[in-house]
A and B are shown apart, each in its own frame.
Chain A
Amino acid sequence: MSAPVPLALTVNGVEVARAVAPRTTLADFLRLDLELTGTHTGCEMGACGACLVMMDGVPVHSCLVLAVQAEGAVIETVEGLSERGAIAELQQAFHQRNALQCGFCTPGVLVNAHALLEHGGVPTREDIRDALSGNYCRCTGYEAIVDAIETTARLRAGAEGQP
């Protein structure tokens, strides 16, 4: 095992400096070092999408990124997106449509949906399903999830259309 190395990055708007073992994944760094346990690990091999976080504006699998690769990056987790209200409509729509059961996949789904909607416009249901193709949900089936994301996109498009 190699000695810890210094790491500085911005997580949920806060500058963070820590020493980490080089083999530490970004997922473990967020969950264990920063106690941001909203990011989940379901497979630790890039298959399930539970660990998605925003890294410099792009959703990434935090289980496949080493923490040291995030040096200088801007990271946002479900906690950060939630606290700054960026996903409030999505959360509301998911709640209304009951688009979750156990909720273990949900943070990854929300991060991914957030990234999709950041592109603007109203994606088709096909587009939404395509965007979610890397998010496994073992509980619900995807229909309600797609509904909730579509509802949010429509809501936002409608709101923008208003004076």
Chain B
Amino acid sequence: MNAPVTNAPAKPFDRPGHVGQPLSRPNAKRLLAGRGRYVTDITLPRMLHAVFVRSPYAHARIADVDIAAAQAMPGVRLVATGADLARLCTPWVGTLDHFKGMKSPPQLPLPLERAVWAGQAVVAVVADTRALAEDAAEMVAISFEELPPVTDLDMAQAEGAPRVSPELADNMCFRAGLDTGGVDDIFANAAHVVEGEFHFGRHTGVTLEPRAIIADYDPSEERLTVHHATQTPYQFQDLYARHYGIAESRVRVIAPDVGGSFGVKLHVYHEDMAVVGLSMMLGRPVKFVADRTEAFVSDIHARDHRVKARAAVAADGTILAMDVEDETAVGAFSTYPRTSAVEGNQVIRLIGAPYTLAGYRADLKVLFQNKVQTSQYRAVGHPIACAVTERLVDLAGQKAGLDPFAVRAKNMIADDAYPCASATGYKFEALSHQACLAKLHTLMDYDRLRSEQAEARARGIHRGIGIAAFVEITNPSPAFYGIGGARISAQDGAIIKITPSGEVRCLISVTEQGQGTETIMGQIVADYLGVSRDIVDRTSGGAQAQGQRARRRRGHPPGPARRAGSRERRNRRARHRAGAHQPFGGGAHRLFPLRYAARRHQCPALGGASLRTAGLSLRLHQRHSRLPCGGGCRDRAGEDPQAFRGGGLRPHHQSAAGGRTGARRRGAGARRGFLRRVPL
């Protein structure tokens, strides 16, 4: 059974405290009663259904498309090709400005001339029901002329290789390197060199609810409403507005209950863009739900990497340097707007992160091939970086005759060395790998496990014990993509309203897929205002025309963001808020009903500068720090991995528990960044 979690609860304030308490999720009851409302469940009046005819070839010229028979099928309202949609939608390119030299061809909802992966949507059919649309899709006749496909890393780089995009010079999407200098010398003089080649197969996310979207364009008002199973409604509000030339204030994106996302549902998919155009062409709502087979060939894939890595090791087991080549095979395009290069970039920057290294060198190649696009999915790049690093560390330990714990203890960045930077340039505030490792040693009763292992081995039972350390990037702020020109978190924010009845409405831009976002926001808002969370009504997942200031991405609490400025500015804003509330409450002093009157001087809406204790602010920043948190984790065959809470399995909780991810240093730069708004 699970060991009890020993997070010290946040010290209660002078009012009911919710932050730090293990509270249940109010919205979970709805889901347990079968009352969820996912996009797949939604039916709008006069709604039509889209299905797509897909390419069976990895690379083919589209010679001819014959849609006449399909158009004549019962219930069919529209059959559309790439050319039809290209008249409405401007192309997009999946590059970020700060990735120098990155290239990717322009993309359209449906291709004009060539299909570039097996499974790419080529023709859209819209009919009264999905079944009728599928019937008609079978009648679409496309003549393909097969072209040579690029199917792996070696082929992509070979001399004279076919090119995935004829308009680009080669198949290299992005190349980057890191070099601290002196690496060759370190290797030449090291007592040992350990090395390995690591192959990682493609994964996909497999959200249990497949991708689903309903686009509803109303030509009378030129207004677009999209019900979208996504993590990022504001991002899509911006993209649909820009690529379809609709005023952003007339685009509304609603993300209701979402049946799993895992990063899969925050990218631009060709079918989703197409559905918006189909709705515009028809002036009616159009729904698309990928079936499971379609999901496998059209959802993003991830983690297709080949890494060659070596480490220079001193005779005593000190790891001196690492030298890494990461080649990653992406799709035929770089994904929009987050690109397909971030994963590899994080692999080369996270390798070796928990350890002191005198030298580090890395070479990253991101290569196109004729397969479905890849992009960010669960723990982007971390598993690859961790696997490579820890294998090298184990090999170093073996060479030097050190136990896996000992070689890690010897090489970890010391707990008192922070703040510092990793050899790859990541800045760390205050990690605690040594303390973590020591705690893990005790928790797992390492020596006992080793003797049990030896005893079992004698009986012919082979049991492994693995130790891994890692550093996780937790909350990198809107600037993470904003610096490259992607308006992803630029509009994130929260609006808090206090109603005449003394209840609180909190509208939050970040979405909920069951991680507890709404609950967490409710806790923060309730504590911030000093009320019971029962009267805080939270609504997440809607993007519409509301003037919201740029805020940091998921996890940034509505409260402390307001502390970013000087006290004077804070007070000015608070006074402004008090005024702004008057229409709702008939005067600031009526905002809270009597039962809260005793606390009203603490209400931010009333301009109380003493509204927060420094404690809350600090704890919240710790919890939602943008800086990486450290973790150690071990696994042993046959045991319950959830029992090891000391590890990095639940990074957000862990960073709170550890309390070591710093707030202060992050403060200035990051918060200035967010107040300045993301550079667009």
Task: Mark A residues whose CB is within 8 Å of B.
Answer: 1, 21, 23, 31-32, 36-45, 47-48, 50, 77-79, 82, 91, 94-96, 98, 100-107, 110, 136-139, 141, 143
Q: Are A104 and B34 in contact (CB under 8 A)?
A: no
Interchain CA distance A96-B28 in the complex, whole Å: 10
Q: Does B82 contact A (CB under 8 A)?
A: no
Q: Are A100 and B32 in contact (CB under 8 A)?
A: yes
From B34, B43, B205, B513, give the contact of A107 (CB < 8 A): B34
Inter-chain contacts of A47 with B (CB < 8 A): 292
Q: Which one of B2, B24, B259, B262 has the highest number of Cβ atoms from chain A below 10 Å of its Cβ? A: B259
Q: Does B207 contact A (CB under 8 A)?
A: yes
Q: Are B260 and A40 in contact (CB under 8 A)?
A: no
Q: Does B135 contact A (CB under 8 A)?
A: yes
29 A-B pairs in the complex with CB atoms less than 8 angstroms apart? A1-B132, A31-B41, A40-B40, A40-B209, A42-B208, A45-B292, A48-B208, A78-B33, A91-B29, A91-B32, A91-B33, A95-B24, A95-B25, A95-B28, A95-B29, A102-B31, A102-B208, A102-B258, A102-B260, A102-B514, A103-B259, A104-B207, A106-B32, A138-B205, A139-B513, A139-B514, A141-B642, A143-B2, A143-B640
From A40, A45, A95, give the contact of B38 (CB < 8 A): A40
Interchain CA distance A32-B33 in the complex, whole Å: 18
Interchain CA distance A136-B206 in the complex, whole Å: 10
Q: How many inter-chain contacts with C-beta < 8 Å in the A-B complex?
A: 115
B contact face: mostly helix, strand, loop, or mixed: loop
Inter-chain contacts of B33 with A (CB < 8 A): 38, 78-79, 82, 91
Q: Are A102 and B34 in contact (CB under 8 A)?
A: no
From B34, B74, B514, B642, give the contact of A1 (CB < 8 A): B74
Contacts A1-B74, A138-B262 known; A101 to B513 CB distance under 8 Å? yes
Q: Does B35 contact A (CB under 8 A)?
A: yes
CB distance from A105 to the nearest CB of B (A): 5
CB distance from A62 to the nearest CB of B (A): 13
Q: Are A104 and B32 in contact (CB under 8 A)?
A: no
Interchain CA distance A40-B209 in the complex, whole Å: 8
Residue of A nearest to B75 (CB): A1
1/0 per position for B34-62, CB-CB distance to A under 8 A?
11111011010000000000000000000
Inter-chain contacts of A94 with B (CB < 8 A): 28, 32
Interchain CA distance A129-B489 in the complex, whole Å: 40
A contact face: mostly helix, strand, loop, or mixed: loop
Within 8 A of A (CB), among B602-646: 640, 642
Q: Are A43 and B29 in contact (CB under 8 A)?
A: no
Q: Are B260 and A138 in contact (CB under 8 A)?
A: yes
Q: Does B210 contact A (CB under 8 A)?
A: yes
Q: Does B515 contact A (CB under 8 A)?
A: yes
Q: Are A104 and B259 in contact (CB under 8 A)?
A: yes
Contacts A143-B2, A143-B640, A143-B642 known; A100 to B31 CB distance under 8 Å? yes
Further pairs besides A38-B33, A38-B35, A38-B36: 9, Cβ < 8 Å: A37-B40, A44-B291, A79-B33, A82-B33, A96-B24, A102-B260, A103-B36, A104-B38, A139-B513
1/0 per position for B131-144, CB-CB distance to A under 8 A?
11001000000000
Q: Are A137 and B32 in contact (CB under 8 A)?
A: no
Interchain CA distance A79-B207 in the complex, whole Å: 23
Interchain CA distance A38-B208 in the complex, whole Å: 14
Interchain CA distance A1-B138 in the complex, whole Å: 13
From A32, A39, A103, A138, give the contact of B32 (CB < 8 A): A103
Q: Are B292 and A44 in contact (CB under 8 A)?
A: yes
Q: Does B390 contact A (CB under 8 A)?
A: no
Q: Are A40 and B31 in contact (CB under 8 A)?
A: no
Residue of B nearest to A77 (CB): B34
Q: Are A38 and B642 in contact (CB under 8 A)?
A: no
Interchain CA distance A67-B515 in the complex, whole Å: 35
Q: Which one of B31, B41, B292 has the highest number of Cβ atoms from chain A below 10 Å of its Cβ? A: B31
Which 9 residue pairs spanning A and B have beta carbons closest together? Answer: A38-B34, A101-B514, A103-B31, A104-B259, A78-B34, A37-B41, A102-B514, A43-B292, A104-B208
CB distance from A60 to the nearest CB of B (A): 17
Q: Are B24 and A82 in contact (CB under 8 A)?
A: no
Interchain CA distance A136-B74 in the complex, whole Å: 36
Q: Are A21 and B131 in contact (CB under 8 A)?
A: yes
Interchain CA distance A95-B25 in the complex, whole Å: 8
Residue of A nearest to B23 (CB): A98
Residue of B nearest to A90 (CB): B32
Interchain CA distance A95-B210 in the complex, whole Å: 24
Residue of B nearest to A109 (CB): B32
Inter-chain contacts of B208 with A (CB < 8 A): 40, 42, 48, 50, 102, 104-105, 136-139
Residue of B nearest to A107 (CB): B34
Inter-chain contacts of B132 with A (CB < 8 A): 1
Residue of A nearest to B37 (CB): A37
Q: Does B304 contact A (CB under 8 A)?
A: no
Q: Does B257 contact A (CB under 8 A)?
A: yes
Contacts A1-B135, A139-B514 known; A98 to B260 CB distance under 8 Å? no
Q: Which one of A23, A105, A106, A143 has the highest number of Cβ atoms from chain B below 10 Å of its Cβ? A: A106
